[in-house]
Chain A
Amino acid sequence: RKEVEQDPGPFNVPEGATVAFNCTYSNSASQSFFWYRQDCRKEPKLLMSVYSSGNEDGRFTAQLNRASQYISLLIRDSKLSDSATYLCVVNRGSSNTGKLIFGQGTTLQVKP
């Protein structure tokens, strides 16, 4: 079993739709969590960190459920430019010294 698991998709949604991705992690010692975005043939870039209390950044909302060991990302009013692969990242260890493990990614395709 992989340490960080995501549904690879693809998720095909129309513009304006709301879409949610989940990610599960197996190591309960994990301490910090992130969502990264990767465009085709580009490097991954940070989308947002995930805080215990949940956090929102514009149309994007991230949630963490430590008891169930899953992280979610909600995208509201999706845009064509949101089409990308979304990578769940788990830090096994402290925020500036631990090991960062990536999920395989969930592909989103937003259609006109």
Chain B
Amino acid sequence: DAGVIQSPRHEVTEMGQEVTLRCKPISGHNSLFWYRQTMMRGLELLIYFNNNVPIDDSGMPEDRFSAKMPNASFSTLKIQPSEPRDSAVYFCALRDHYTGELFFGEGSRLTVL
């Protein structure tokens, strides 16, 4: 399995605050995905990277959202400033190079008050 560690697991913050979500792949991969899940909209693809390069960020809601992948072992998703409508579970996932299977982290549950 490709392991994925996400932090924080839960975050509650106030509107206007900056939020940084982190993803740490444990083993090798070549693609990393950030998804957001809500009851209303399901799993939405925000952005994905191949070989640490952002390939498609068309799912990023607006300029308040940004994502980086400075190396193969770390990625961040930042929201600044946060709004209540950003409340969701944010998942990071790695794709197995050979099978195409996605391995998800346990998610970061964000609540913006």
Contact = CB atoms under 8 A, between A and B. Distances in A.
Nearest to A43: B104
A3 to B, nearest CB: 10
Binding site secondary structure of chain B: strand
B95 A100 contact: yes
* B interface bracket (residues with beta carbon within 8 Å of A): 20 to 34
A36 B55 CA distance: 23
Contact of B42 (A46, A91, A103): A103
A99 to B, nearest CB: 6
Contacts of A81: none
Given A87-B43, A102-B35, A96 B106 contact: no
A101 interface: yes
* A interface bracket (residues with beta carbon within 8 Å of B): 20 to 34
Contacts of A89: 102
Interface string B79-113: 00000000000010001111111101111000000
Contact of A45 (B30, B99, B104): B104
A47 to B, nearest CB: 11
A43 B43 CA distance: 11
Interface of A: 32, 34, 36, 42-46, 49, 87, 89, 91, 95-97, 99-105
7 contacts: A34-B100, A43-B106, A44-B102, A96-B30, A99-B48, A100-B102, A102-B43
